[in-house]
Amino acid sequence: MASAGCTEMAAAGYMLHPACRVRQEGFGLLFYDSRGPRLLFAETGNLLDATFIENLHQENELPVHLTGQQKSSVDKFIRQLLERGFLREQ
């Protein structure tokens, strides 16, 4: 799903791939994919925490404290996680 629009994403459900783990680090989030192994360092700072990713089910579940621009950035980040296989649609 390389080019999903926001409308399509809102209807989709998401989950962390069973082979992947995420943990909170000082810089943001560290993703580990045991199928590779592959690492992804996401400099999210305090914007998102690991429990948000672990419990993400739909795009419209973004944290309420985010500004419009931050929501757009998080939406783009979620799409990148999907493209790289760390998240999958359910």
CATH number of the domain that residue 72 is part of: 3.90.930
Residue 6 pLDDT: 36
69, part of any domain: yes
78, part of any domain: yes
Count: domains in the chain: 1
Domain of residue 19: give its range. 6-89
Residue 77 has pLDDT above 80, yes or no: yes
16, part of any domain: yes
pLDDT digits (tens, 9 = 90+) for 56-75: 776 567 777 888 899 888 88
pTM: 0.75
Helix (H) / strand (E) element for 21: namely strand 20-25
Give the residue carrying structure tokens 């993703």: 31
pLDDT digits (tens, 9 = 90+) for 7-44: 334 446 889 999 999 999 999 999 999 998 899 999 99
Rounded CA-CA distance 50/79 in Å is: 17
